[in-house]
Structure 1
Amino acid sequence: MATAVALAAPLRLAPSRRWRFSADLRAEPPSRLSSRRGASASFPTAAATVPKVLDDSVIEPYGIRDYIERSRELIKPDGGPPRWFSPLECGARGTDSPLLLYLPGIDGTGLGLIRHHHRLGKIFDIWCLHIPVMDRTSFEGLVEYVERTINSEKSYSLNKPIYLVGESIGACLALAVAARNPDFDLVMILANPATSFSKSQLQSVSTFLGILPEPLHVTIPYFVNFITGYHLTFRDLPDNFNDMLADLSFLVDILPKESFVWKLDLLKSAALFVNSRLHVVKAQILILASGRDQLLPSHEEAERICSNLPNCRIRHFKESGHTMFLESGIDLVTIIKGAGYYRRSSQIDYVSDYLLPTPLEFQQATEIYRWFDLATSPVMLSTLQNGKIVKGLMGIPSKGPTLLVGYHMLLGLELGIMFSRFFTEKRIHLRGLAHPFMFNRASEQLMPDSSSFDGHRLMGAVPVSATNFYKLLSMKSFVLLYPGGAREALHRKGEEYKLFWPEKSEFIRMTSKFGATIIPFGVVGEDDMCDVLLDYEDLVKIPFYDTLNKRINQDGVRLRTDTVEEVGNQDLYPPVLLPKIPGRLYFLFGKPIETRGRSEELRDRKQAQQLYIHVKSEVENCMAYLKEKREKDPYRNLLPRLLYQTTNGFTNEVPTFEI
């Protein structure tokens, strides 16, 4: 068994064109050395004024075959101990990129993230742990090795977190490090942790493994699935037979029987080690749980871990198998961004840490609104500086800082369409100031799907606060603000199109400080979509609803608790709606109001209050205009729109009233 001294021995593996290895476990890994030789930053610093978009156009896709090909090269016996390597396709390390340590599953190759190297390398400094096939380092020895690495890197990562991405036994390794080092600033992404080993199918495998001659041990279905993630059936055999034989040969190389027996014992000791210390883990954790994991009860285990750790969240992947990182359709960067787990300092900054969505991410995030857009055929109107109302978004300025202030429809029905249209027509990325409920762990646990708000975070929503508002304006962003907040978005029966704004101005003086343009806007049509069947006043009369009400409102983050105005009545609740045959949505963005050069004038509270009242009246005027004009729209109802689209094509814009 390798000792601590052996772990520090120099490597004897020849360098490869595919990765950079550390020359000595006590020395700096070459990725760190290369960054000191003048490698340029691959991502902006926290002080950058404009968030960058990850360029997916040059990313080369990798798959299972690439994993097997590179693993064959990597597992050639060299007698060396575990060591870190940095895949060359990850690129040069950015000066502000956090360190990401990948801790592999039972295969030990360190190539489990091969599908994600390119994208991860744009925002992280990536090191992957390689455990040679014949290595016999104990679980405690691996824990100590990772600890030493983190300790040595803390001096290079001042005020920055260190990410641990682990799957299966690698997830156990990450949890063990966190349990033994509660003061480490760790962000952990754990896929199907093997802490449930005692409840897994692998327990039964270990009982009869000894009677199987080598190499027949690799024919165990659970073993094949554990390594490759394949779901082979007899129907697959004719088409995949040659590939399957090659893969079985690979499995013999990567885990001969002796090593497989050792790894099963390692899994058992890892699970025992972590479960006895799980209660002391304080690190920030995101668990990725597969719904079709044939080896571990990953869904149930994720729930168990999360219930015991206050700083843990879950994302479920119902169709994924055990080795989800090797599956197509799983994008680790998107998962991290959507969950709000990407940060480059000790605390997340939702403004400076934000990464713009890629075209594919934008498409996926707005896909759920595509049919809603098609069904409602929204009418978009804007106002030029001369007061003329025109179709489209011509009246919206092309540069920020700009503040859009308007009416919040029921459940925010307008949001998806607004974000999509602004981006596709004007290449403008809106940053919404959102209720903190959307960023709260307790809120996620109340939702049917814990990822319900990931799309909003991916599109740039930030928790509403004066600090975030200030930062967005300073970055010349297009900011979306609803002064009525949750009180408007969750209004009661008969309160359609009623503004619930505070009496005193909240945003005028800060807007004028940056010379931002204010665009008041109105939107109508929610009464064409649905009616409120049961509102908050109805629900609180239902027996047992008070339990849910307490979980939503007492445990959640509340806003405007210091006001006695109606806008302070921000009780959150799930309204019961009666859907209608979809009508049409109408947007009108009013005449831009300039504050540039008015900073001194608007520091006066009376002047700021007058402008605030003017903005509010403009929002009401926009809605009044739309409610009157829609009565003259021959295509307000669904059937005329469908007939028009059938005749002229669904990509053509449906006409509306005369302006």
Structure 2
Amino acid sequence: MSHDRSGSADSGDRPAGALSEGAGALPDEGGASRETAVLSDGAPLSVSLSDTDLRVIETVLAPLRAWTSPRFYGLENIPAEGPVLLVGNHNLLGGIDAPLLLPEVLRRRGRLIRGLAENVLIAVPGVRHLLHHYGSVRGTRQNCLALLERGEAVMVFPGGGREAVRRKNEKYHLKWEGRTGFARMAIEAGAPIVPVAMIGVDDAYDIIVDGDHPVLRPLRWVVEALGINRELTPPLVRGIGPTPLPRPERFYFAAGAPIDPAPWRDAPDLGAAAVELRAVVRKGLEEELRFLFAERDRDAGRTLAGRVRGDLSAFASGAIDRLRRFRLS
């Protein structure tokens, strides 16, 4: 593990200017452009963000950022250029916390994270347009390799949807099963892998009943009728009281040291090499998770109440200090 252990809160600073590589840009806004080359799902191979896009991201994420006061560690481990595969863990329900990573990596590393979206989301026309606009593509091997070969930063979640719709006894569990696709792609593309751990959502919600519970049988029927594996039936959760509003727990993110796939590049058996690399990446991600658990447990500002107490204490200390200096003068 190699990162700045001091951490940093999301300051809300907007990345300056439009970026040449990344996601989502309208052709006539802020000089942003969209290339004609497209991927297998019709997504543009390369897009750029306009100032308007950046303002939209800030506006949409502002309430979540204020509610969760996220902290980020180790983002300097994400290469500033060249292909890189960010391998993360899904938290409960998936997709709640990861969007906060986008503007932070844009601001600090000048990189736009290209996400690999589930087929069920890409299949919805309006959602597909929004995902494509901000850089996400259908999660296929071909699309991922095309982006890596172009030198993009691509994020994958090997646990997929099943990791996001976790069961009651699976808090922060990695559900990778036997998946090695991401490791194969990293080896083939020669792209370093950066494990990215995220925690907070599982602390902000309680699972009332999970997808296996008999009470959710009607929901499982609906899921199957939509052509989705019943294993992906979402749980019934609660946050503040009986509501779906998440408790204001702080979100934490940590990027570990890059893992170079070069030692596995010339292996005679790519399948075996991918299994070995997957184990190394999983170990790295689990190490980052343990680091975040320790940071969370020692953080007096983990909850909103703790953050308010800290702010009041800092304000009072500052006021007393200013009063003392005034008297001495």
TM-score under structure 1 normalisation?
A: 0.40
Change (3 A) 1:597 1:351: farther
Structure 1 counterpart SS, 2:276: helix
Change (3 A) 1:647 1:460: farther
Match of 2:29? 56
Letter in 2 for 1:575: P
- Residues in 2 aligned to 1:480 and 1:398: alpha-carbon distance in whole angstroms: 15
Alignment partners' CA distance in 2, 1:483 and 1:347: 21
In the alignment, what sits opposite 2:139? 464
Tell me the residue number matched to 1:227.
Answer: none
Does 1:610 pair with 2:282?
Answer: no
Match of 1:478 among 118, 141, 153: 153
The answer on 1:362 being equivalent to 2:54 is: yes
Match of 1:421 among 88, 94, 104: 104
Q: 1:55 to 1:603 in 2, by over 3 A?
A: farther
In the alignment, structure 1 segments of 5+ residues that lack a partner are 1-47, 59-118, 124-341, 383-392, 445-450, 559-569, 650-659
The one-letter code sitting in structure 2 at the alignment partner of 1:420 is P
Contact (CA 8 Å) 1:351, 1:472: kept in 2 or not? Answer: no
| Contact 1:528/1:582 (8 A) holds in 2 | no
Report the residue type matching 1:358 in the other structure: S
Among 183, 194, 217, the alignment partner of 1:519 is 194
**Residue 164 of structure 2: aligned partner:** 489
What is aligned with 2:4? none
CA-CA distance at 1:579 after TM superposition? 0.8
Q: State the Cα distance separating 1:572 from its structure 2 match.
A: 2.9
Residues 351-399 of structure 1: CA distance to partner in whole angstroms, max 9, x if unpaired?
42x53332212321442221111221111111xxxxxxxxxx2222111
**Kindly tell me: are residues 400 and 452 of structure 1, through their superposed partners in 2, closer, same or farther at Cα, counting changes over 3 Å?**
same
Deviation at 1:503, TM superposition (A): 2.2
* AA matched with 1:551: A
SS in 1 for 2:76: coil
Pick closer, same or farther for the CA change 1:484–1:546 going to 2, 3 Å.
closer
CA drift at 1:602? 7.4
Matched, 1:578 2:238: yes
Following the alignment from structure 1 to structure 2, what is the Cα–Cα distance between the partners of residues 364 and 51?
Answer: 13
Partner amino acid, structure 1, of 2:71: V
1:12-63 CA deviation, whole Å, 9 max, x = no partner?
Answer: xxxxxxxxxxxxxxxxxxxxxxxxxxxxxxxxxxxx99889546347xxxxx
CA separation of 1:462 and 1:347: change in aligned 2, threshold 3 A: closer
8 Å CA contact 1:512–1:599 kept in 2: the answer is yes
Q: Choose which of 567, 582, 594 in structure 1 pairs with 2:260.
A: 594
Q: Give 1:24-35 correspondences, 5 Å limit.
A: none
Q: Alignment partner for residue 90 of structure 2, among 387, 408, 419?
A: 408
Q: Show the counterpart of 2:212.
A: 537
SS at match of 1:476: coil
**Residue in structure 2 matched with residue 437 of structure 1 by the alignment:** 120
Indicate conservation of the 8 Å contact 1:409/1:488, yes or no: yes
Q: Distance in 2 between matches of 1:435 and 1:348?
A: 12
* Structure 2: runs of 5+ lacking an equivalent: 1-19, 241-246, 316-329
Answer whether contact 2:198 2:254 (CA < 8 A) is retained.
yes
Q: Where do residues 115-154 of structure 1 align in structure 2 (5 Å cutoff)?
A: none
The two structures, once aligned, show a CA RMSD in angstroms of 3.1
* Partner residue in 2 for 1:217: none
Other-structure match for 1:634? 300
Superposed counterparts of 1:195-594, under 5 Å: 348-352=41-45, 354-382=46-74, 393-411=75-93, 412-441=95-124, 451=126, 454-503=129-178, 505-538=180-213, 540-542=214-216, 544-552=218-226, 554=227, 556=228, 571-580=231-240, 581-594=247-260
Where 2:77 maps in the other structure, the secondary structure is coil
Cα offset, 1:543, TM superposition:
6.4
Distance apart, 1:401 and its partner CA: 0.4
Shift in CA distance, 603/418, structure 1 to aligned 2, threshold 3 Å? farther
Contact kept? 1:365, 1:459, Cα under 8 Å: no
**What is the rounded CA distance, in whole Å, between the counterparts of 2:306 and 2:171 in structure 1?**
25
Give the direction of change, closer, same or farther, for the CA distance of 1:536–1:462 in structure 2 (3 Å limit).
same
TM-score of the superposed pair, with normalisation by structure 2: 0.76
Q: Distance in 2 between matches of 1:543 and 1:508?
A: 36
2:206 aligned counterpart, secondary structure:
strand
Residue pair 2:166, 2:235 contacting (<8 A) in 1 also: no
Cα distance in 2 between the residues matched to 1:51 and 1:528: 30
CA contact (8 A) 1:508 1:602 kept: no
Q: Which has the larger radius of gyration?
A: 1
Paired residues of 1:365 and 1:455 also in contact (CA < 8 A)? no
Total equivalences in the alignment = 288
Equivalent residue number for residue 625 of structure 1: 291
Given that residues 490 and 575 in structure 1 are in contact (C-alpha distance below 8 angstroms), is that contact kept between their aligned partners in structure 2? yes
* Paired residues of 2:209 and 2:237 also in contact (CA < 8 A): yes
Give the conservation status (yes or no) of the 8 Å contact 2:21–2:152: no
**C-alpha distance after superposition, 1:429-483 (max 9, x if no partner):** 0011111111114xx6xxxxxx456543322111111111111111111010111
Which letter does structure 2 place at the counterpart of 1:364?
Answer: V
